[in-house]
Structure 1
């Protein structure tokens, strides 16, 4: 392994120096303005420039790039907004300009070993901490939850590519655990001795994430692409040696990253800080992920009326229609999963979201209010009979309505996807 003194005294080629200047500026700006919560408490620091960006970035989009529509920043679940792409454009242009000026003013520099070290520290912790966070939400199965009632009753062809990916990935707890462990393995990036091994694993995991985001139209393409680019940048110093080892089977020695000599007190401070950051990412991250699962998927989020209600018979103003007589405008399913919400699926397979309010003064009354333009309010009394029979009696727009339904409390047993189970032996493929 090359020693520190030789790396510090070695001369870089002109191309290496120009390339480093560009990537130093580009990646520094990217992890600053597109931090995505990688660094602990960084969100509080970012407030210093958030107002400036919220005003400046739309101006650049309108007056420099000629974007004809209005847009703004702010978290909305998408990382591929117009705002993000304009920030990326600004980062790229600024990196090019600074690289040109820097190369002119500092053309006699032999190398940037010290700056390279500190850049790798920032990048390793950026990728490592972010993937630890992403991995934990997979291990605890928060990001990709098990397919719920609304997804299971959705016509297959009406799912978006992203919805299809979420259903596929969320179906298996085992696969979530596998993905999560692979991503949490990015903790290896935080130690120089395990950096190369960590990069080999992380390049595969980030490339897979990037592929899913591109080919299933998941709006995290910018971030996932840059995670791959950063990993490739970090492993570039050993790329030729790794090819020599894996393809030619020739023994090689990996290059050690030059590490500046620090005073004892400063070195101890950085060591303690590193331990605290890793403990925070793994410990607090795990606790917060478990809290998030309870907050979004725990028992407290479920409605007491949770279940799938399949319509058997509808009586409107005294006129009864059996299931075979129902028209495309009649109800097929009433799906209730989370507190305050319900979904009605018509025989035409069209779905409509409803607001559900259970009467706190009664044990057998609730109100459904449509959330579309054509607002309707259903006031129901309900009751249960034998064999999971369920009855709704009420009014809508002065009409009297009686609905006989079958209730599936454990609704997952109704669907092949969730009750097929695992089989070691399959005499024939069970592809339905």
Structure 2
């Protein structure tokens, strides 16, 4: 085998590595699984409480179109590098795309800074054999074809290996399709459960405290609208078991003191079980509702028009009234021409 054949063999290895590393991210974005979509509990987290990464995830998740197109760009780049004739275009698209991803990771403090830089480098290496040709093209000069030798000289082996790109693509699409079918229930709608929404709270039997910073009365609550796997870490809660029920979703509670607690709720007919984790702090430990569960509450719930009532076994009921402005981010409709609404 000549040095040129060895070089192109290594180039094939780089192309396959580039494909394998990027395709999961591409499919996750195409299926709206990587950033998800903002849900009602997310609305109780203020801008000042957001982490830089959380802000980026909210920004990307808010628009399914943006997230989908970002995944489509990665998908096209990954597919194009499977075939040597189109690898140069895949390398170009992939390098530009991953350079932007790396920049976002750097400026929004996303942990995968080095992996994204490595992937960008891989796609640049894919492009390297065609770089002189690309430069001449943009300079308006004549460009000659890149002559690459056949690395596998055996015709019998080549008849089999030439189908590898197609098989790799079919396998990745099959795996991605399965993940989407099982991992993103209700990802494209917000039907949720009947209690789903953001509410202001009145009532209850929690006594006010003299010090507002210690006041544990309920101020606002949010019931998530995504069930199952879309509820994220529900099934990995520390110190708590998944209650039996028809619907499992995220839950958020803002107390009068300003403390924010994230957790989960389970509906079982007219019963709702709420599991709360520790109040959110700036240490990043419980940035997501993983646990351990600190408090488990059980209520009978009933609808009263648009309002809800949560009735404990003993004590006064909590009266939940839908928030009038708290859901603006999700409720604001699209329009081609409108008055500026920049808040």
TM-score (norm: length of structure 1): 0.62
- CA distance, structure 2, for counterparts of residue 127 and residue 405 of structure 1: 51
Residues 80-229 of structure 1: pairs in structure 2 closer than 5 A: 112-186=3-77, 187-229=79-121
**3-state SS of paired residue (1:211):** helix
Q: 1:367 to 1:157 in 2, by over 3 A?
A: same
8 Å Cα contact 1:155/1:349 also seen in 2:
no
Any idea what the Cα deviations from partners look like across 1:241-287, whole Å, max 9, x if unmatched?
322321x3111214233322421211112123332112112344234
Residue 366 (structure 1) aligns with? 272
Residues 302-341 of structure 1: pairs in structure 2 closer than 5 A: 305-311=195-201, 313-316=202-205, 328-337=215-224, 338=227, 339=248, 341=250
Q: 1:342 to 1:424 in 2, by over 3 A?
A: closer
- CA distance, structure 2, for counterparts of residue 336 and residue 244 of structure 1: 58
Residue 161 (structure 2) aligns with? 270
8 Å Cα contact 2:44/2:252 also seen in 1:
no
Any idea what the Cα deviations from partners look like across 1:300-320, whole Å, max 9, x if unmatched?
x95564333321x22428x89
- CA distance, structure 1, for counterparts of residue 64 and residue 275 of structure 2: 35
8 Å Cα contact 2:92/2:124 also seen in 1:
no
8 Å Cα contact 1:309/1:335 also seen in 2:
yes
Higher relative contact order (CA 8 A, sep 6+): 2
Residue 3 (structure 1) aligns with? none
Any idea what the Cα deviations from partners look like across 1:200-230, whole Å, max 9, x if unmatched?
1111111111111111111111211011111
- CA distance, structure 2, for counterparts of residue 130 and residue 112 of structure 1: 27
- CA distance, structure 1, for counterparts of residue 294 and residue 80 of structure 2: 55
8 Å Cα contact 2:272/2:299 also seen in 1:
yes
- CA distance, structure 2, for counterparts of residue 377 and residue 292 of structure 1: 27
Q: Which structure 2 segments of 5+ residues have no match? A: 228-247, 279-291
Q: Which has the larger radius of gyration?
A: 1
Residue 299 (structure 2) aligns with? 380
Residue 283 (structure 2) aligns with? none
How many residue pairs match? The answer is 305
**3-state SS of paired residue (1:316):** coil
1:404 is aligned, of 309, 319, 323, to 319
TM-score (norm: length of structure 2): 0.77
**3-state SS of paired residue (2:252):** strand
**Does 2:132 match 1:240?**
yes
Q: In the TM superposition, what is the alpha-carbon distance from 1:374 to its structure 2 partner? A: 9.9
Q: 1:377 to 1:419 in 2, by over 3 A?
A: closer
Q: In the TM superposition, what is the alpha-carbon distance from 1:138 to its structure 2 partner? A: 1.7
Residue 97 (structure 1) aligns with? none
Q: Which structure 1 segments of 5+ residues have no match? A: 1-7, 9-110
- CA distance, structure 1, for counterparts of residue 23 and residue 275 of structure 2: 42
2:173 is aligned, of 269, 276, 282, to 282
8 Å Cα contact 2:14/2:125 also seen in 1:
no
- CA distance, structure 1, for counterparts of residue 296 and residue 85 of structure 2: 65
8 Å Cα contact 1:344/1:352 also seen in 2:
yes
**Does 2:285 match 1:393?**
no
**Does 2:261 match 1:352?**
yes
Any idea what the Cα deviations from partners look like across 1:107-141, whole Å, max 9, x if unmatched?
xxxx7322211211111122124333322222221
Residue 289 (structure 2) aligns with? none
The structure where helix makes up a greater share of residues is 1
8 Å Cα contact 1:132/1:282 also seen in 2:
no
Q: In the TM superposition, what is the alpha-carbon distance from 1:341 to its structure 2 partner? A: 4.8
- CA distance, structure 1, for counterparts of residue 119 and residue 68 of structure 2: 21
